[in-house]
Amino acid sequence: MADAMATLGLELERAVAAYTVAAAAHRANPGDDDCQSAIAIAALDAFEAASRIAAMPAATIPDLRIKAQALAQLFDAVPGSRPSGAEQRLLCQQIIEGLLALG
């Protein structure tokens, strides 16, 4: 299962990188529909990866790190957000439970 979580972590990193590139291209060419489409696709890919990460149980510290990374990306996607979305709440709960189980 740790391999699956690591794979999802890589998917999230790739989607966030694609979003960053698409957003920079959009800032350079605000009227370009292809740039806007690339942003939407990358954002959806990142959200789907974060949702799948939230759906998996964390078995190790590296799994918890991946969940924390997903949570951080969700917060970055909505500046000033609180853990109000279902994925954000679930990730917060899982990270807390995982850390408490360790100590």
Q: Which amino acid is at 29?
A: N
Domain ranges of the chain: 2-102
Q: What is the pLDDT of residues 43-83, one digit of tens each?
A: 899 889 988 998 998 888 899 889 888 888 877 775 555 65
Cβ-count burial of 54 within 10 angstroms (0-12 exposed, 13-18 middle, 19+ buried)? buried
- Can you give the pLDDT at residue 93? 87
Residue 33 scores a pLDDT above 70: yes
Dist. CA 5–CA 52, nearest whole Å: 9
The model carries a pTM of 0.78
Residues 101, 44: Cα–Cα separation, whole Å: 32
